[in-house]
Structure 1
Amino acid sequence: MTTTRSLREKAGSEPITMLTAYDAPTASVVEAAGVDAVLVGDSMGNAVLGYDSTLPVTLEEVESRTAAVARATDEALVVADMPFLSFGVDDADSVENAGRLLKEADADAVKLESGPHTVELTRRLSDLGIPVMAHLGLTPQHVNKLGYARQGTDRDAAERILELARDHEAAGAFSLVLEHVPSNLAAQVTDALDTPTIGIGAGPDVDGQVLVITDVLGLSDRSPPFSEQFGDVRGEMERAVSGFREAVEGGEFPAEEHGHVEGDVDDIY
């Protein structure tokens, strides 16, 4: 069983794998494949809820889907994303919201899109026994400020990311996601920390990799340039749905074996 402690122990020794999942069937497949951690990301906004960004995702949506993922997993570490404005506005509310995801949705940890404003919150949550995964680089909840551009591309920005990574490690974060940053910056952050780094668009020199499950499965209309499609599930779904429609329209489904006849109900009309 993967725990926050065992994940930390993998840093520098064994690659860490993490994928997003937003429902029980997908989570069970991810776990069966032996993936270390399942992230119930606010990426559900774009990936499965039909939003244009992660910003509309609510705490209730994350809580419901985290509970579904947790029910379907026994071995993988379940990490729940704290959605936009569920943290950082009021300290008491932030702690309560994070606690809900552990107490009511059975998450093992929470993830915060991080910055200077989350260092003390990370410390507070960690002190209370709520494990925190930090997230630096491209932070989609700041899309209206940052867009989706690569982060840490000049010296000042890179130094800020490194400093924030160290600050969050010191505050108790058990791991750090680095998204869409230069590979050489990610490598230096990884070398500077004992905390494991998990990259997405951050090159190979990190402790682990995470991707959005709809990209991995080939369900997305389009994927970011740093992702990879490892299957064509969208194509399989289209073939199956088309097959159903054609069978119904052609009179091939349902066949005799798909139903039964009960003699006692003959001649009631």
Structure 2
Amino acid sequence: MSISKGVALVTGASRGIGRAIALRLARDGYSLALNDIPSNLHGLDSLKSEIENIKYNGHDLKAMSVTADMREEEQVKEMIEKTVKDLGAVDVMVANAGIHQSMQMVDTSSEDFDKTLAVNIRGVFLCYKYAAIQMIAQHQRRGGAPGGNIIGAASVTSKQAWPGASAYSTSKWAVRGLTQASALELAPYGIRVNAYAPGLIETKMVEDYAIDQKVDYNEFVAERSQGIPLKRLGKPDDIADLVSFLVSDKASYITGQSVSINGGTFFD
């Protein structure tokens, strides 16, 4: 028997921030639909097994793996449908999947630019759209009860652009706009929409960024930490804690926000 707080779907869940968010929401009592691209299925299945060993109020939680490419509308739609079929609902949608290509604007090809926007904003838009359609239906079936929570992945570069990240910054600024507009449109259904805007986090993406900059990762972390008031990079669990709060009743009056979480690197 599985008794959970609801169903959460997390994209890009096989590693890093997505993995930490999925584990935290499971510990909060949610059943999980875990998404990534097919090449990361092994990581999803490992995470699925870990979540299924978590107890909530003495009961087992359900988890499922569902691969999909966020750039493909039909795949995103099917991801939502499969989650509902297997787990019964979508109460929390975390559109976490994203990519980063480090290059100067003048060196960025149209193909590079389009690829970044296709994953980082088109993919987020599709997740928001199809999660919202499902949540509106649930809101109506539940007699007007609050419809759910949608969370997107923005970035510190969505508020203060960085050199070497023109396409990435553009995509993340767009996430903020989408989040604000969606929050206004979905408020009548009791659906809250927010985003997290992290600074540098200890993830594979940041490791790859250091490689692109041709510096040793440990040296990169030490150097960048000195420019952060809290003197460290963030950890995936820092973001997971924020998401846990944003989808909770304690954040019931927060919507349309892109919450900075960057150790003091940038102030809104």
TM-score (norm 1): 0.36
Q: Which is richer in helix?
A: 2
Q: Which has the higher contact order (CA 8 A, sep 6+)?
A: 2
Task: Please tell me whether Structure 1 or Structure 2 has the larger radius of gyration of its CA atoms.
Answer: 1
TM-score (norm 2): 0.37
